[in-house]
Amino acid sequence: MSTISLKKWLNLLARLLNHFFNISNVFYILLIFVPITIILDIFFSIDNTVLFALSVLALIPLAKLVGDTTEHLAEHYGNTGGSLINVTFSNTPEIILSIVAIQAGLFDLVKANIVGSILGQLLLVFGLSLIVGGLKFREQIFNKKNIVFHITLLLISITILSIPTILILGNLTVTEANIENQMESTGFMVMILSNSFAILLLSVYVLSLFFTFKTHKDLFVTSTNETDLMSKPNSNAEILITKKIDDPRIWSKKKAIGILAISMIGIAIISEILVSTVEETITNLNLGVLFVGAIIIGIVGNVPEKITSMMMARKGKLDLALGIAANSASQIALFVLPVIIVGAMIMGVSFPLIFTPFELITMFASIFLVYFITNGGRGNWFQGVILVGFFIAIALGFYFIK
């Protein structure tokens, strides 16, 4: 066997190993938990806490599958269409889980999950990307305009979504009297406001798409290193995140839609199991609904996404990592939550948009912290420490709300 032939074989082996143990694909191994969870749920009377843990683990690869498949599908619809598909479908796992939870009446869990997802993007993804990137690069420059754009969208969304809570807390504090009685009439008010605000935010969302994909497109194309990435894709992970024009590995439209449909059905089934076991788990582990919703489901569910971000930051693409995180955070508030509210409205369920003060204050504080930190346009590891430190403190706070 010649040296060249040996090299070839080693190379092939390396690529094979790389493919399966690629940090990005390794999560697909967790797909094994999907059938395990379903089978255990149907045929065995297993402890609900274990079933809950398994269903959380099973959701991780399913959410990743939806994300990756959406990328493949987006390739077939040009730049703008593709981005729209990407943006719209990438949040389906969260929406499906929330709708299932709302049907089961777990309103606090849904709201906590939304809050946890936003905080996860703003503090954990931002923070870890800054730390991981900052340990390799002394300073990385990023486009602060793009981040401020999404942070502003987030600020307006959160402020609007907090209006019912402010009105109710404000009234309680001022009048004090006859809360029971008041609750009846305020319940009506909260529903009207929730639904109006959902429609208002969805309108702003549609206009924001028009702004970012049509009238002021260039602002956002230049702001990220996406074009750079496209021209020289270095790793599998990047390929899956960025646009892959004319790549033979892109799935056909049929295949993509099929896998998307299957993974969504999987998410719906697993969500049912998760929702049916969460209450007993909360009691068993003596945890609060907010902690389980915000920290366990909200954070664990997006682990692959977070790791991809960190990998990008480590490769000097901090701008891209932060841009995606800011975009995701603003989308959850501006699109996902309003869609859930409208979904509840259609299902005829009263989903009251009342948050705890702690949820609201931590979101506002996170927005301002990210604003202060990104306003210089340069990232270093210590900024990441601040954000992650804040996240740890918030997680501790959630732990004690019961």
**Residue closer to a copy of itself (CB basis): 196 or 227:** 196
Q: Is 160 in the site for a copy of itself (CB under 8 A)?
A: yes
Q: Is 204 in the site for a copy of itself (CB under 8 A)?
A: yes
| Interface positions, 120-139, toward a copy of itself (CB under 8 A) | 138
Total binding residues toward a copy of itself, as defined by CB under 8 A = 61
Between CA 239 and CA 373 the distance in angstroms is 29
Q: What does the block give as tokens for 131? A: 């730390």
Draw the binding track, 334-373, toward a copy of itself (x: CB under 8 A; -: no contact). ----------------------xxx--x---x--xx-xxx
Q: Is 23 in the site for a copy of itself (CB under 8 A)?
A: no
Q: Is 213 in the site for a copy of itself (CB under 8 A)?
A: no
β-pair partners for 379: 140
Among 151, 270, 292, 363, binds a copy of itself (CB under 8 A): 151
Q: What are phi and psi of 291, to 5 degrees?
A: -65, -45
Among 167, 230, 257, 342, binds a copy of itself (CB under 8 A): 167
**Residue closer to a copy of itself (CB basis): 28 or 381:** 381
Among 170, 221, 261, 347, binds a copy of itself (CB under 8 A): 170
Q: Is 174 in the site for a copy of itself (CB under 8 A)?
A: yes
Among 166, 183, 245, 262, binds a copy of itself (CB under 8 A): 166
Residue with tokens 């305009």: 145
Contact criterion met (CB below 8 Å) for 244 and 75? yes
Q: Count Cα neighbours of 384 within 13 Å in the Cβ-side half-sphere.
A: 24
Closest approach of Cβ 8 to a copy of itself, in Å?
43
Helices (H), 179-225: 179-210, 217-221
Among 79, 80, 215, 227, binds a copy of itself (CB under 8 A): 215
Closest approach of Cβ 323 to a copy of itself, in Å?
16
Q: Is 390 in the site for a copy of itself (CB under 8 A)?
A: yes
Q: Can you give 333-349 as a three-state secondary structure string?
A: HHHHHHHHHHHHHHHCC
Contact criterion met (CB below 8 Å) for 37 and 270? yes
Q: Is 397 in the site for a copy of itself (CB under 8 A)?
A: yes
Residues 6 or more apart whose Cβ sits within 8 Å of residue 259: 65, 69, 251
Between CA 359 and CA 223 the distance in angstroms is 31
Closest approach of Cβ 397 to a copy of itself, in Å?
5
Q: What are phi and psi of 379, to 5 degrees?
A: -110, 140
Residues 6 or more apart whose Cβ sits within 8 Å of residue 3: none
Closest approach of Cβ 339 to a copy of itself, in Å?
17
| Interface positions, 184-203, toward a copy of itself (CB under 8 A) | 189, 192-193, 196-197, 200-201, 203
Among 31, 84, 163, 303, binds a copy of itself (CB under 8 A): 163
Q: What does the block give as tokens for 58? A: 């099973």
CA nearest 69: which of 207, 195, 251, 235? 251
Between CA 236 and CA 229 the distance in angstroms is 12
DSSP labels, 308-366: HHHHHHHTT-HHHHHHHHHHHHHHIIIIIHHHHHHHHHHHT--------HHHHHHHHHH
Among 23, 148, 285, 303, binds a copy of itself (CB under 8 A): 148
- Binding part of the chain for a copy of itself, among 7-15, 31-39, 150-158, 241-249 by CB under 8 A, reads 150-158
Q: Is 141 in the site for a copy of itself (CB under 8 A)?
A: no
Between CA 148 and CA 373 the distance in angstroms is 11
Q: Can you give 214-270 as a three-state secondary structure string?
A: HHCHHHHHCCCCHHHHHHCCCCHHHHHHCCCCCCCCCCCHHHHHHHHHHHHHHHHHH
Q: Is 84 in the site for a copy of itself (CB under 8 A)?
A: no
Site residues (CB under 8 A) for a copy of itself?
138, 145, 148, 151-153, 155-156, 159-160, 163, 166-167, 169-174, 176, 179, 189, 192-193, 196-197, 200-201, 203-204, 207-208, 211, 215-216, 356-358, 361, 365, 368-369, 371-373, 375-376, 380-382, 385-386, 389-390, 392-394, 396-397, 400-401
